Amino acid sequence: MDREVTAHPDDRGQSEVVGEILAVAMVVIVVTTAGAYLLSDAASPDEETLAEIRLDVDEERVELTHLGGESIDTNDLELAMYVNGTRTGTAWADGTDLGATFDPGERWVYNRTIDSDATVRVTLADTSTGTLLVDQTVRPGDQR
């Protein structure tokens, strides 16, 4: 009787172990493949501010116009302006007060006299996503 009892389980041979290994292997393969695919794909487009900003510079002012896209929190906006290569120290707060967000259709104006043949570089970045929204170099004399 004992013999039979002890002998019986052995009748099933290696099937249980093989089953376990197979199940674990299958799940691991499926999960890693799917995970790798998802993670590689998900990493790229995430965290980017979609917005189109137009820069206009003339002899009297610098203008940034939001032509469409997302609203941007003005606390996250980092503005830098260079005249003939020298940074002016102008900040977002020096221009038009647009409130908490820079919304589509809004215009930011900073009044400042600039020589018509000066080179003006303006960069605007959204620090919350690390997106460079504007980086342009213009001369006030060249109209649009």
Partner 1 sequence: MSFRGDRRGVTVQVGAVLLLGILVLLLATYQTTVVPQQNERVEFQHSQAVQEDVLNLRGAMLETAERPGFRTVSIQMGTQYPERALFVNPPPPSGTIQTSDAGEMGVENVNATNAETRDYLYGTQNYATKHVSYSASYSVYQNAPRTAVQSGVVVNDFERGRSVALSEQPLVRGNQITLVAVEGNLSQSQVQALDVEPRSLSTSRTSTTVRSTGDGLNVTVPTTLSEDAWRSLLDDELDPAADPNNDRYVTSVTRTGDAVRIQLEANRTYRLRTALVGVGRGGEPPQPAYVTNVTERNTSLARGTPLVTEVRDHYNNPVDPTTYPDDVTVNVTEGRDLIAENRTTVDEDGRAQVTYTGGEGQVTLKVERLNGPESEVSFNVTERSAQGSDDGDGDTGATSQIRLRVDDLTQRRGNSPRFVVSYDTQNVNSSFERIEIDFQRTDGTQDQVRESQNQRGSFVFEPGNGQGDDYSITARLYYSDGQGEYVRDARTLIDTADAQNPSRNDDLSENDSPVLDTGSEISDQTNAQSNKVSYRFDYTVTTNNNFQKVTLGVLNLYGNGASRTRDIASADEPNAFVPDQGNMDGANTEYRTVILVYDSEGVVVDIFEWRDTADGQGSDSPP
| Contact footprint for partner 1 (CB under 8 A) | 5, 9, 19-20, 23-24, 27-28, 30-31, 34-35, 38, 41-42, 45-46, 48, 50, 52, 54, 58, 63, 65-71, 103-107, 143-144
- Least gap, CB of 77 to partner 1 (angstroms): 17
- Least gap, CB of 23 to partner 1 (angstroms): 5
- In this complex, which beta carbon is closest to partner 1, that of residue 76 or of residue 106? 106
- State phi, psi for 68 to the nearest 5 degrees: 145, 160
At 12, list the tokens. 């099933």
Sheet with 107-111, side-by-side order of all strands:
51-57, 61-69, 107-111
96 DSSP assignment = -
- In this complex, which beta carbon is closest to partner 1, that of residue 23 or of residue 132? 23
Dihedral of CA 118/119/124/127: which sign? Answer: negative
- Least gap, CB of 42 to partner 1 (angstroms): 5
Q: How far is CA 16 from the centre of its chain?
A: 50
- Least gap, CB of 128 to partner 1 (angstroms): 15
| Residue 89 half-sphere exposure toward CB, CA atoms < 13 A | 0
